[in-house]
């Protein structure tokens, strides 16, 4: 008999870190709902990569679900569509996030950019998590019958605590997002649902491409002890450890995937 695959919903998964996460979950035998705001072609590349690494014979499937997580109607449509296609969600990965279009000093930054980042980086994941959590708690029978208990992983950033004066709105949004994990960890523990934050450092993606030289220089100067760029795979493997239930007595945990950037020295 072919086993039924667990199901992951990964937001912002067409490219970058989200794609790295989708591929590592596919490698583990998950079906993946690949969400992104747009970009069908890029999402199709992600889907193909997932298919290439998926173990056989497992009944996995990879599909693209277009939705803007900042929009309430899109979030509702996304959860409904994933549920109708796959029947359940075992793992929600809140990955989608945006940086400011232009990095501006905090004395000049605009309210427009602030609102955009808060909508995508905070409001979107918060209410998507609420919607998926309600799906779980409103169906105790399904919750009991699944082989594994649901999990939530949120991708924040070292910007949750490291101040960058030229993108204050990004730092504020990631600091706010960091509170999602303790809140939902406390609320959902009684259902056996565990909640984690992954806090990446500097990861090589389109988001960091415009500031590549700055980070190349910082790496050469030893700004973090593991002297290299992080990769989407580094983050994907951390998510995979959680998805594989390698941390069964942990919830509300922050996992730094930053080459040791968070360590202080004296």
C-alpha torsion 227→230→236→241, nearest 10: 20
Q: Quick one: 55 or 260, whose CB is closer to ligand NAI? A: 260
Residues 137-156 close enough to bind ligand NAI by CB under 6 A: 155
Distance, in Å, from the CA atom of 15 to the CA atom of 39, rounded to the nearest integer, reads 9
120 binds ligand NAI (CB under 6 A): yes
Specify the stretch interacting with ligand NAI by CB under 6 A; choose among 48-56, 95-103, 106-114, 218-226. Answer: 95-103
Q: What is the residue-wise DSSP string for 34-67?
A: EEESS-HHHHHHHHHHHHHH--TTEE--EEEEE-
Let me know: does 81 contact 131? Beta carbons within 8 Å: no
Q: Is 36 in the site for ligand NAI (CB under 6 A)?
A: yes
Cα–Cα nearest to 38, from 69, 63, 68 = 68
> CA 251, CA 183: separation in Å to the nearest integer?
11
Stretch that binds ligand NAI, among 31-39, 49-57, 136-144, 185-193 (CB under 6 A): 31-39
Residue of 178, 205, 240, 261 interacting with ligand NAI (CB under 6 A): 205
The correct pick among 7, 8, 12, 251 for binding ligand NAI (CB under 6 A) is 12
Binding site residues, ligand NAI, CB under 6 A:
11-12, 14-18, 35-37, 39, 68-70, 95-98, 120, 124, 155, 157, 200, 202-203, 205-208
């Amino acid at each position: 008999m072919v086993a039924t695959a667990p199901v992951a919903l990964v937001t912002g998964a067409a490219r970058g870190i989200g794609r790295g996460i989708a591929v590592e979950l596919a490698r583990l035998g998950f079906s993946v709902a690949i969400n992104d705001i747009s970009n069908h072609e890029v999402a199709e590349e992600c889907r193909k990569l997932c298919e290439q690494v998926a173990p056989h014979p497992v009944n996995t499937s990879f599909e693209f679900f277009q939705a803007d997580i900042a929009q309430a109607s899109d979030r509702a449509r996304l959860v409904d569509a994933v549920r109708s296609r796959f029947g359940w969600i075992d793992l929600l990965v809140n990955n989608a996030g945006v940086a400011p279009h232009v990095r501006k000093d905090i004395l000049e930054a605009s309210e427009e950019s602030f609102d955009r980042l808060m909508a995508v980086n905070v409001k979107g994941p918060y209410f998507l998590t609420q919607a998926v959590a309600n799906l779980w708690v409103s169906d105790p029978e399904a919750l009991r019958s699944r082989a594994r208990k649901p999990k939530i992983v949120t991708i924040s950033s070292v910007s949750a605590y490291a101040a960058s004066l030229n993108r204050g709105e990004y730092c504020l949004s990631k600091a706010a997002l960091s509170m999602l994990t303790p809140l939902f960890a406390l609320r959902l523990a009684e259902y056996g649902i565990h909640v984690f934050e992954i806090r990446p450092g500097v990861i090589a993606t389109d988001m960091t491409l415009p500031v590549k030289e700055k980070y190349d220089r910082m790496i050469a100067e030893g700004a973090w002890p593991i002297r290299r760029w992080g990769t989407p795979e580094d983050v994907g493997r951390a998510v995979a450890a959680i998805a594989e239930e390698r941390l069964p007595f942990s919830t509300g945990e922050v996992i730094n995937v930053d080459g040791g950037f968070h360590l202080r020295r004296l």
